Amino acid sequence: MGSRGSTLSKIPNVDKLMQETGFSQAHIIRLHDRFRALDNDEKGYLCPQDFEAIKELAMNPIGDRIIGAFFAQGPQQETVDFNSFVKVLAHFRPTDKNRPKESTSPDPINSRTNKLKFAFQLYDQDKDGKISRDELLQVLRAMLEMQVTEEQLESITDRTIQESDTDRDNAISFEEFRKSLDKVNIEHKMSIRFLR
């Protein structure tokens, strides 16, 4: 792992990153270690193959979508540098209760809305701002695998869309998505306790 100072100094824009993401130094260092562990060839960035090498991720039914989410953040689609890596992970930092009061203006990256947006974009593969029936069907198919028949899948999908689709366009917009999860404790359910 190396000493803290040396590791930190290797990371460009650490302070800005910490401010944006809310991670502590310890977090950043830890994530940087992880980043380097994933980055096999010391290239300084990650490409999809690096993610696919994680074997647990291969088992995850929507793992590829989550990998995709890492590459959808920045302008350059092919690689992920450490900054965007951390920023994506920052979505899952637990929301601290005291903080929102101070920094209401720049919506923190781990706010409820941003967490929801992250989840939403996993469904919305074509990025048209709506989860269409097909998109939802794909996700469900992935999550349910072989356990249900195609008709069952479709009826679940229809039902889901019908339930949340308020403007009856047969698709779920982000607003509808958020509304359908209004009662869910997103701050809790979309957070990971990052080790320090």
Partner 1 sequence: PGSSVWGWCFDQWHLSAILNNVFFFLSVFHFSQRFTTVVPESCMLILLGLVLGGVVLITSKKQPYQLDPGLFFLFLLPTIVGDAGYFMPARLFFDNLGPILMYAVVGTLWNAFCTGFCLFGMKAAGVIVEAGLMEFLLFGALISAVDPVAVLAVFEEVHVNETLFIIVFGESLLNDAVTVVLYKVYISFVEVGPGNVQTADYFKGIASFLVVSIGGTLVGLVFAGILAFVTRFTKKVRIIEPLFVFLLVYLAYLTAELFSLSAILSMTFCGIGCNKYVEANISQKSRTTVKYTMKTLASIAETIIFIFLGISAVDKSKWAWDTGLVSCTLIFIFVFRAMGVVMQTWVLNRFRLIPLDRIDQVVMSYGGLRGAVAFALVVLLDGEHVKAKDYFVATTIVVVFFTVMFQGLTIKPLVKWLKVPRSTNRKPTINEEIHERAFDHILAAVEDIAGLNGYHHWRDKWEQFDKNYLSKLLMRKSVYRKSELWEAYQKINIRDAISVIDQGGNVLTSARLSLPSMASRTSFPEVTNVTNYLRENGSGVCLDLQVIDTVPGAKMEVESETHHFLAGNLYKPRRRYHSHYSRHFMTTGDQERQEREVFQRNMRSRLENFKSTRYKRYKKDRSQKKRRGSDVKEQEANDKPRRNVSWQDKVVPLESEEEKGEHTEPEKEEDVGITFVARKAPETPKERPKSVPAALEVCQSPSVFPPSPTSAEKNLPWKGGLGTLPVCVSMEATKIIPIDLQQAWNQSISSLESLSSPPVPAEPQHPRVSALSRLGGPARIHSATVPVTGLGSAGSTDTSQGSGQFQFPAGGGGGGGEEEERPLSLQQQEMQPLMSLVRPPPPPPPPPPQGAARRRNPCVYLRSLVAAPPPGSEPHSRRPTQL
The contact set with partner 1 (CB under 8 A) reads 31, 33-34, 37-38, 51, 54, 56-57, 59-63, 66, 70, 89, 92, 94, 118-119, 122-123, 139-140, 143-144, 147-148, 151-152, 155-156, 158-160, 162-164, 180-181, 183-184, 187-195
Helix (H) or strand (E) holding 153: helix 150-164
Shortest distance (Å) from residue 82 CB to partner 1: 13
Shortest distance (Å) from residue 159 CB to partner 1: 5
Pick between residue 8 and residue 154 the one whose CB is nearest to partner 1.
154
Shortest distance (Å) from residue 106 CB to partner 1: 23
Burial of 66 (0-12, 13-18, 19+ CB in 10 A): middle
Pick between residue 123 and residue 132 the one whose CB is nearest to partner 1.
123
Distant-in-sequence, close-in-space partners of 160: CB < 8 Å, separation ≥ 6: 136, 172
Question: For residue 5, what are its two tokens?
Answer: 């100072």
Q: What does the alpha-carbon distance between residue 165 and residue 25 come to, in Å, rounded to a whole number?
A: 43
Partners of 130 in beta bridges: 173
Pick between residue 105 and residue 175 the one whose CB is nearest to partner 1.
175
Distant-in-sequence, close-in-space partners of 78: CB < 8 Å, separation ≥ 6: 47, 71
Pick between residue 81 and residue 187 the one whose CB is nearest to partner 1.
187
Distant-in-sequence, close-in-space partners of 180: CB < 8 Å, separation ≥ 6: 163, 164, 172
Shortest distance (Å) from residue 167 CB to partner 1: 14
Shortest distance (Å) from residue 116 CB to partner 1: 9
Pick between residue 128 and residue 163 the one whose CB is nearest to partner 1.
163
